[in-house]
Amino acid sequence: MSAKIRTLEDLVIIKDKVDKVKSRFRLRVMLCGGTGCHASGSLKVKDVLKAEVQSQGLADQVEIIETGCNGFCAMGPVMTVLPENIFYQKLDPDDVIELVQKHFIKGEPVKRLMYTDPVTGVIIPKLSDIPFFSHQQSRVLRNKGLVDPESIEDYLWRDGYQGAYKALLQLEPNEIINEVKVSKIRGRGGAGFPTGTKWEFCARSEGDVKYTLCNADEGDPGAFMDRSLMEADPHAVIEGMIIGARAIGSHQGYIYCRAEYPLAIKRMNIALEQAREYGVLGKDILGSGFDFDMEIYQGAGAFVCGEETALMTSIEGRRGMPRPRPPFPAVSGLWGKPTILNNVETWANIPQIVLHGGADFASVGTESSKGTKVFALTGKVNNIGLVEVPMGATIGQIIYDIGGGIPGGKKFKAAQLGGPSGGCLPAEHLNLQTDYEAISEAGAIMGSGGMIVMDEDTCMVDMARYFMEFCQDESCGKCTPCRVGTKRMLEILQRICAGQGQEGDIELLEELAGDIKDSALCGLGQTAPNPVLSTIRYFRHEYEAHIYDKRCPAAVCSAMFTSPCQHTCPVGMDIPKYIALTRAGRIDDAYKILKRTNPFPSVCGRVCGHPCESKCRRGQLDEPLAIKNLKRFVTDNAKKPRVKEIPVTRTEKIAVIGGGPSGLTAALELKKRGYAVTVFESMPEAGGMLRWGIPAYRLPRKVLEQEIRDITDTGVVLKTGVMVGRDISFDQLNGNYDAIYIAVGAQKSWPLEIPGEDAQGVWGAVEFLRQFNLNEKIDIGKSVAVIGGGNSAIDSARSALRLGAQDVTIFYRRERKEMPAQEEEIVAAEEEGVKIEYLVAPIEVMRQDGRVIGLKLSRQQLGKFDRSGRKRPETIENSEFVVRADAIIAAIGQNLDQSFLSKTSNVLVSKSTVNVSESLRTSNPKVWAGGDAVTGPAMVIDAIAAGQKAAAAIDMSIRVSKGEPAWVQPPHEYIEIPFEIDEETVECPQAKMPELPADKRRRSFKEVELGYTMEAAMSEARRCMRCDGNSD
Amino acid sequence: MNKKCICEDHYDVDEFTDEQWAKVDKIIDKYCGKPGALIPVLEEVQAVTGFLPEVVQRRVATGLNIPLAQVYGVVTFYSFFTMKPRGRNQIRICLGTACHVRGAQQNMDALEQRLHIKQGECTADREFSIDVVRCLGACGLAPVMTINDDTHRQVKAVKIDEILREYQPENDSSKEHYDVCKN
């Protein structure tokens, strides 16, 4: 076969030979052959490709190599064509013929197979331009996608084994160790212990027999860096171990690889065979006189065997249980002999450190964490795969710049670092550098590099339970703190997730965690409590919601609810029931179900922010149910039962300040409980923001009036045109009524706080819409600038168009995906001709004779992340520009108008919101408050929920003070709910809501959305998967 | 969790063919005398017999000259070894973190419901068995499930039926009669 390599010249000769062979090829096709791509079918692609290239007579022009894992697994099978570096993804055997014809023969790369940016839709042909790859620094993964892992000659072509040569023939063992110490490399397995120091301890230990071990167990779920390294570049690991063995004086090595990695094991074995063949492994390596050989030892599915002493025990053929240290493995390890154990990634770094010097390695990274680190970026992120970055890169850079952000427009919630031993880092830490100490301070650990991204649909309590379940399962059982402690912690977490959490559970978890961390025998037990501690630290409110409210905000812990849509709805509307009735054509019954929990279903069916849809399980298949549109269909078409007056059965009188959705809902609920209720509304008509904010083309007046009538028909007294603080004082109400509910909303627009804003023609959005809805004349002019990105901004912009403006532009200081407005609204506005400019901020109002003539703005760029997880806009110097404007509408926020309160009201207000307790009671024991007045601008449904909660609290408080039992809701009329689901689920999108054409509607206030037809509604209703099961 | 004593699960020597026993003995011979050989031996033996009931463990213990208790200890410690037979179609579902976050638990629930068995068990006709794996390292394809050598990626719970049907034996008309493996 091949001669053994003896000298440096031999190495260079092979390198040159391979180089010559490769340079003869016109095209070199690197097809990814990692486990991920194999699973996606890359082997078939390879076979068809080879056959086609052969049959076209291109075999001596086109080289085809199956490389190791490229790291971009979700897009597999992937392929790179050199030398142009063209990247292809999601390949199918059917694509091969076109590829060969167009690209290989005609020289026209195939666009449809290239990478497309998921946000912009731009095609990026070259691998080096794709953000996922361009932001990475490939040092330890330098050979990925470039060599055939089953060919040692490819490795030699890339300067392989030159490091080993230097170590064995040009350096003394202590010089090797010194170089590693200069590099300051820390163990990449998770503990981060300085590698050079570890080797030094072992080198000093006495003995002829020493072992060099590689920990390739990679048990962390979600981590596959080591697998990819072994599949892509196995020789890097071998070369590293040869160097390490030399440094400590060892002649036998083992690679402990988990059995779940058959491809990695196969490639390592081939590499070992070839290494021996070429004389770089075995006896008298490279003619140096140094002997070293190694073999692969397969794991058998025990996570704990990733712990060093357990690993050694496993190699010894026993149960993988750790033992106390000291003695440390460097002194007494495998079979009692001095041993060094390092992680795969650590070993793969060593050849470069020896070849180019430790200082080169240390030139990258932070003060305490040098070099690069490979992260396995997985979970809810667009670009799942392997990411190698210099230490010090921030979490945000990795998740957003490289990972491409969160798919589906969902919000980032946390990133789990370090697997089951680690912790989660929420949005406030997106600027955190990847550095051992920095991460540790934030409550997580670097770990082996697993980084799992979680979004708003992940429940952190469930994640803590999941990790604890894993650790409990994998606990070896030797020490009590881990064996019993993790079990107890798991039981508590399971109870919490099942809706049986108790007061004191969080504190007990924290106490147990501390005890286990202090007393467990090995790293598994010592770190098992970390995910729990870290989720409690950052997401305590989520634990509390589970324990006290029996709610899972992410709608994951299914033991606490039947369907996620109903659970997420702030008022708990029984969505599956009314959808089932709609599917069966029983619209009148569906309407009755709606009214049971929501007095404003017609309104919500038009304007609700539909949090239910964001958790609809159908959304995981194709698109969520169009719940809001179905609700509207029901309210438009059902026969509405007459509302009967409810008799007053109690003596107490309740006053409600504010006739908006919150106040009216509370009034209705109190009326049901027998109270005499009076609502004081300052405007000529009730409705609050529904009447005076939301324009008629979104919510027709008649629709709103009908639902308000349904409330006043019960006997609620509504006094319109009465402003508390002007027509009647707060103190009078306080004296004349037994309880008061404040629901005045947040109806004062935030000022822009820029020079010139007192000019005529500058409006706050709320005031603009109110004035307009009062039918007062507004001369809006031709050019209108709207500042802001929420629903008020969109409403203002679309209303300005209808008032006759020619040119309406919304100026928003962030990017489109950050806009709080509903996507449907933004799209509708754009269709009508509203322009939107992003990343701009207003700096001055230009005025003439006291009137607005223009607006000066500056351009923004996105800087670091702020605490909410969004990138902070920063002004770009000298980027000012002026736009013409006849009117400026500021829609950047809304505040409480406190003028209704008196000096002696005793109602505390801070940060522009009314302070309330858990039960919505203010600091005045007779006064409750809810809705926007307490929360700031929120959704209608939130206001309705607050009204229901406050009414119940007021009623409870009155009854308790009089020693009366709680109110019992009279039973509802029985409505039988059909249970039908489709046998086969066929993917199909949401039914589209028909709309008035954009050019017709932009000047009219007729309702834009037209509502579903009966067929559309029933067909949409069929998509519901009845997550509530057959429960009634 | 194995709540019964192993002597209650009784498998005879006849459970396996002479050919299989011959292979087992060969494996034992190959490793005899090597320190720390127990785990590799058990791995190779299980590849032949499919599972490691007491009768096989005794053979290995005798062959390698180590106590049965030590063999039993290793078999029950490592999740790769099983004392229960596996189905003709071995379903291994990954419940690693990346898969969990992408809905693996729902897939597991659907599987258990469809086959009427729990994880670690095997259907009465020995067609299917379900095992949990904690991370196959194919996180880019989450949630992942393997059946024999086929890797199924981005599995959706509603599609589980379709996937299982591919592995159903040709002449099976009664899909409902799956009882838990009594043995």
Give the integer Cα–Cα distance in Å for A185 and A167: 17
Other C-beta atoms within 10 Å of A876: how many?
A: 12
**In the predicted model, is pLDDT for residue A431 greater than 90?**
yes
Confidence of residue A268 (pLDDT cuts 50, 70, 90): very high
Q: Is the dihedral of CA A524, A525, A530, A536 positive or negative?
A: positive
Residue A981 sits at the chain B interface (C-beta within 8 Å): no
Mean pLDDT on A290-295: 96
Could you tell me what percent of chain A has a pLDDT over 70? Answer: 100
Confidence of residue A501 (pLDDT cuts 50, 70, 90): very high
Contact assessment for residue A387 and residue A224, using Cβ atoms and an 8 Å cutoff: no
Q: Which chain B residues are Cβ-neighbours of A302 within 8 angstroms? A: 77-79
Compute the nearest-CA separation of B13 from chain A (Å).
25
Residue A260 sits at the chain B interface (C-beta within 8 Å): yes
Q: Write out the residues of chain B at the interface with chain A, using a CB-CB cutoff of 8 A.
A: 35-40, 42-43, 70, 73-74, 77-81, 94-103, 133-142, 144, 151, 153, 156, 158
Contact A224 B100 (CB under 8 A): no
**In the predicted model, is pLDDT for residue A929 greater than 90?**
yes
**In the predicted model, is pLDDT for residue B177 greater than 50?**
no
Among all residues of chain A, which has the CA nearest to that of B77? A319
Q: Is the dihedral of CA A695, A699, A703, A705 positive or negative?
A: negative
Report how many helices (DSSP H) and strands (DSSP E) chain A contains, helices first.
39, 33
Compute the nearest-CA separation of B27 from chain A (Å).
16
Residue A39 sits at the chain B interface (C-beta within 8 Å): yes
Determine the pLDDT at residue A535. Answer: 97
Per-residue pLDDT reduced to its tens digit, A160-185? 999 999 999 999 999 999 999 999 99
**In the predicted model, is pLDDT for residue A61 greater than 70?**
yes
Compute the nearest-CA separation of A35 from chain B (Å).
7
Contact B139 A227 (CB under 8 A): no
Backbone angles phi, psi at A878, to 5 degrees: 55, 40
Q: Which chain B residues are Cβ-neighbours of A334 within 8 angstroms? A: none
- Kindly give the pairing relationship between strand A717-719 and strand A676-680: parallel
Among all residues of chain A, which has the CA nearest to that of B35? A316
Mean pLDDT on B161-182: 61
- Kindly give the pairing relationship between strand B128-133 and strand B89-94: parallel
**In the predicted model, is pLDDT for residue A461 greater than 70?**
yes
**In the predicted model, is pLDDT for residue A624 greater than 60?**
yes
Determine the pLDDT at residue A985. Answer: 75
Q: Which chain A residues are Cβ-neighbours of B37 within 8 angstroms? A: 317
**In the predicted model, is pLDDT for residue A76 greater than 90?**
no
Determine the pLDDT at residue B100. Answer: 85
Other C-beta atoms within 10 Å of B148: how many?
A: 12
More confident residue, A1032 or A145: A145
Q: Which chain B residues are Cβ-neighbours of A35 within 8 angstroms? A: 136-138
Mutation for testing the A interface, residue in B46, B82, B101 having most A CBs under 10 Å: B101
Determine the pLDDT at residue B15. Answer: 83
More confident residue, A482 or B2: A482
Q: Which chain B residues are Cβ-neighbours of A458 within 8 angstroms? A: 101
Per-residue pLDDT reduced to its tens digit, A845-857? 999 999 999 999 9
Residue A303 sits at the chain B interface (C-beta within 8 Å): yes
Determine the pLDDT at residue A260. Answer: 86
**In the predicted model, is pLDDT for residue A318 greater than 90?**
yes
Q: Which chain A residues are Cβ-neighbours of B96 within 8 angstroms? A: 221-222
Per-residue pLDDT reduced to its tens digit, A945-956? 999 999 999 999
Of the listed ranges A217-231, A237-251, B2-16, B98-112, the one predicted with least confidence: B2-16
Mean pLDDT on A820-840: 94
Compute the nearest-CA separation of B158 from chain A (Å).
7
Mutation for testing the A interface, residue in B132, B139, B160 having most A CBs under 10 Å: B139
DSSP A326: S
Determine the pLDDT at residue B122. Answer: 87
β-pair partners for A417: A423, A451
β-pair partners for A424: A416
User: Would the pTM of this model clear 0.95, i.e. be above it?
Assistant: no
Determine the pLDDT at residue B170. Answer: 64
Residue A313 sits at the chain B interface (C-beta within 8 Å): no
**In the predicted model, is pLDDT for residue A603 greater than 70?**
yes
Mutation for testing the A interface, residue in B100, B153, B161 having most A CBs under 10 Å: B100
Query: What tokens appear for A767 in the block?
Result: 């005031």
| Top-confidence range, A22-36, A216-230, A492-506 | A492-506
Look up the ipTM and state it: 0.85
Contact assessment for residue A439 and residue A392, using Cβ atoms and an 8 Å cutoff: no
Residue A317 sits at the chain B interface (C-beta within 8 Å): yes
Backbone angles phi, psi at B25, to 5 degrees: -60, -40
Determine the pLDDT at residue A273. Answer: 96
- CB contact set of B98 (below 8 Å; sequence gap of 6+): A221, A222, A378, A379, A384, A452, B135, B139, B142
Q: Which chain A residues are Cβ-neighbours of B158 within 8 angstroms? A: 621, 985, 1025
Q: Which chain B residues are Cβ-neighbours of A315 within 8 angstroms? A: 36
Compute the nearest-CA separation of A740 from chain B (Å).
46
Q: Which chain B residues are Cβ-neighbours of A470 within 8 angstroms? A: 134
Query: What tokens appear for A324 in the block?
Result: 């106390």
Amino acid at B153: R
Mean pLDDT on A514-537: 95
Between chain A and chain B, the number of residue pairs with CB atoms below 8 A apart is 142
Mean pLDDT on A870-896: 93
Determine the pLDDT at residue B35. Answer: 83
DSSP A304: G
Under DSSP, is residue A215 helix (H, G, I), strand (E, B) or coil? strand
Give the integer Cα–Cα distance in Å for A577 and B68: 60
Backbone angles phi, psi at A855, to 5 degrees: -135, 130
Compute the nearest-CA separation of A299 from chain B (Å).
8
Contact assessment for residue A550 and residue A572, using Cβ atoms and an 8 Å cutoff: no
Give the integer Cα–Cα distance in Å for A412 and A429: 12
Give the integer Cα–Cα distance in Å for A742 and A814: 34
Contact B137 A379 (CB under 8 A): no
Other C-beta atoms within 10 Å of A755: how many?
A: 13
List the alpha helices (DSSP H) in A184-283. Answer: 195-204, 225-232, 234-248, 262-277
Give the integer Cα–Cα distance in Å for A45 and A1021: 41
Mean pLDDT, chain A, whole residue set: 93
Contact A301 B80 (CB under 8 A): yes
Determine the pLDDT at residue A266. Answer: 94
**In the predicted model, is pLDDT for residue A1030 greater than 70?**
no
> Distance between alpha carbon A35 and the CA centroid of its chain, in Å?
26
Of the listed ranges A7-11, A450-454, B139-143, the one predicted with least confidence: B139-143
**In the predicted model, is pLDDT for residue B6 greater than 80?**
no
Compute the nearest-CA separation of A224 from chain B (Å).
5
Mutation for testing the A interface, residue in B72, B135, B148 having most A CBs under 10 Å: B135
Give the integer Cα–Cα distance in Å for A322 and B80: 19
> Distance between alpha carbon A279 and the CA centroid of its chain, in Å?
50
Q: Which chain B residues are Cβ-neighbours of A454 within 8 angstroms? A: 101
Residue A263 sits at the chain B interface (C-beta within 8 Å): no
Q: Which chain B residues are Cβ-neighbours of A317 within 8 angstroms? A: 35-39, 74
Determine the pLDDT at residue A288. Answer: 92
The gap between the terminal CA atoms of chain B, to the nearest Å, is: 15
Q: Which chain B residues are Cβ-neighbours of A320 within 8 angstroms? A: 77-78
Amino acid at A49: L
Peptide bond before residue A326 is cis, with ω within 30 degrees of 0: yes
Determine the pLDDT at residue A795. Answer: 95
Backbone angles phi, psi at A985, to 5 degrees: -95, 115
CB-nearest partner of B138 from A73, A316, A463: A73
Mean pLDDT, chain B, whole residue set: 83
**In the predicted model, is pLDDT for residue B3 greater than 70?**
no
Contact assessment for residue A438 and residue A445, using Cβ atoms and an 8 Å cutoff: no
Mean pLDDT on B96-111: 86
Confidence of residue B2 (pLDDT cuts 50, 70, 90): low
Confidence of residue B181 (pLDDT cuts 50, 70, 90): very low
CB-nearest partner of A39 from B96, B133, B138: B138
Per-residue pLDDT reduced to its tens digit, A714-765? 999 999 999 999 999 999 999 999 999 999 999 999 999 999 999 999 999 9
Per-residue pLDDT reduced to its tens digit, A977-987? 998 887 777 88
**In the predicted model, is pLDDT for residue A1032 greater than 60?**
no
Confidence of residue B1 (pLDDT cuts 50, 70, 90): low
Residue A524 sits at the chain B interface (C-beta within 8 Å): no
Give the integer Cα–Cα distance in Å for A850 and A756: 9
CB-nearest partner of A466 from B36, B100, B139: B100
- Strands (DSSP E) along A798-837, which ranges? 807-811, 835-837
**In the predicted model, is pLDDT for residue B65 greater than 80?**
yes
Contact A73 B35 (CB under 8 A): no
Per-residue pLDDT reduced to its tens digit, A77-123? 999 999 999 999 999 999 999 999 999 999 899 999 999 987 778 99
Confidence of residue B183 (pLDDT cuts 50, 70, 90): very low
Determine the pLDDT at residue B176. Answer: 43
Contact assessment for residue A149 and residue A232, using Cβ atoms and an 8 Å cutoff: yes
DSSP A982: -
Contact A384 B142 (CB under 8 A): yes
Query: What tokens appear for A111 in the block?
Result: 């666009």
Query: What tokens appear for A890 in the block?
Result: 């500021």
Which of A233, A192, A231 is closest to A352 using CA atoms?
Answer: A233
CB-nearest partner of A318 from B74, B98, B142: B74
Mean pLDDT on A888-901: 93
Contact assessment for residue A451 and residue A404, using Cβ atoms and an 8 Å cutoff: no
Among all residues of chain A, which has the CA nearest to that of B37? A317
Residue A451 sits at the chain B interface (C-beta within 8 Å): no
Peptide bond before residue A601 is cis, with ω within 30 degrees of 0: no
Mutation for testing the B interface, residue in A73, A307, A421, A463 having most B CBs under 10 Å: A73
